[in-house]
């Protein structure tokens, strides 16, 4: 674990360098759904549409960093592969404590559906995805029946969830970095079970793909295993995919895979082939 943590830390500069070299073929449309500067989403329309499925992506960044604009390369990759794409933002910690983040994700999801409907785009076949902290938030959007009811959000048009390297459970062994990030996310004394995907999951018809590396360096592989066990105990369909690419540390497979192609990155190919296989 320590070796993988070091590999994760050393990977950042090469990752950022590759991000800066991405060609911007698509200019996304910016849509605000709140007054805060991070309450917005970017919409990407592909030049060559290959599917009526729409991918909605919630960015990662440890809940305290990142914006849809920072992850423009993800939108460029997905639009280039022929899918309509929505990249969703939310207020960040530590200034904004949970549940601000999940409230924004639910509000942003509703706004995105309304926006797409207004453009005459079919929203009946949506894929919700996210890496790392984004996987945490996106999984709650898809699988917490209680919060869906509280915030009056209908996710019946979601036909699949893909999470990469998500902190779905707060029990068991955690890295120092994860403990620090969770302390920033939650106010002191807050019952963290109320923000834990594992505890919030209810029975759902939405199938899930969990992408996880055994050499993550940040999130333990057992986190995805426990989430899959909970899903299966409820009768929810779940596939756990073990990352096999050489670049298998947290940042490289959760977001960095979108800097490559399906031919060069097996994780990215799994991402798209799983979506393609959904009826």
Q: What is the pLDDT of residues 199-251, one digit of tens each?
A: 999 999 999 999 999 999 999 999 999 999 999 999 999 999 999 999 999 99
- We report the CATH number of the domain holding residue 263 as 3.40.50.1820
Question: Cβ–Cβ contacts within 10 Å for residue 64, how many?
Answer: 15
Domain of 128 in residue numbering reads as: 2-277
pTM of whole model > 0.75? yes
Q: What is the pLDDT of residues 89-127, one digit of tens each?
A: 999 999 999 999 999 999 999 999 999 999 999 999 999
Cis peptide, bond prior to residue 99, ω within 30 of zero: yes
* Residue 1 scores a pLDDT above 70: no
Q: Are 253 and 247 in contact (CB under 8 A)?
A: yes
Q: What is the pLDDT of residues 178-206, one digit of tens each?
A: 999 999 999 999 999 999 999 999 999 99
* Residue 19 scores a pLDDT above 90: no
Left (φ > 0), alpha (ψ -120 to 50) or beta: where does 125 sit?
beta
The Cα 186–Cα 184 span in angstroms is 6
The Cα 37–Cα 96 span in angstroms is 13
* Residue 88 scores a pLDDT above 70: yes
Q: How many domains are contained in the chain?
A: 1
């Amino acid at each position: 674990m320590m070796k993988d943590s070091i590999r994760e830390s050393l990977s950042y500069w090469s990752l950022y360098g590759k991000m800066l070299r991405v060609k911007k073929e698509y200019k996304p449309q910016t849509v605000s759904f709140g007054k805060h500067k991070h309450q917005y989403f970017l919409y990407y329309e592909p030049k060559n549409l290959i599917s009526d499925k729409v991918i909605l992506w919630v960015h990662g960044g440890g809940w305290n960093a990142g914006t849809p604009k920072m992850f423009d390369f993800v939108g460029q990759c997905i639009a280039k592969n022929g899918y309509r794409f929505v990249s969703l933002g939310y207020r960040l910690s530590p200034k904004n404590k949970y549940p601000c983040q999940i409230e924004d994700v639910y509000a942003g999801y509703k706004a995105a559906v309304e926006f797409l409907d207004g453009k005459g785009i079919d929203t009946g076949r949506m894929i919700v995805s996210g890496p790392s902290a984004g996987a945490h938030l996106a999984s709650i959007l898809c699988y917490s029946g209680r919060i869906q009811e509280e915030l009056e959000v209908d996710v019946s048009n979601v036909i699949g969830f893909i999470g990469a390297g998500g902190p779905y459970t707060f029990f068991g062994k955690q890295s120092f970095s994860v403990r620090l990030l969770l302390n920033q996310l939650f106010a002191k004394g807050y019952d963290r079970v109320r923000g834990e995907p594992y505890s919030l999951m209810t029975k759902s018809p939405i199938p899930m793909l969990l992408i996880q590396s055994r050499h993550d360096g940040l999130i333990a592989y057992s986190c995805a295993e426990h989430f899959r066990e909970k899903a299966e105990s409820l009768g929810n369909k779940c596939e756990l995919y073990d990352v096999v690419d050489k670049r298998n540390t947290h940042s490289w497979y959760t977001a960095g895979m979108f800097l490559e192609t399906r031919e060069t990155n097996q994780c990215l190919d799994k991402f798209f082939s799983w979506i393609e296989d959904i009826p």
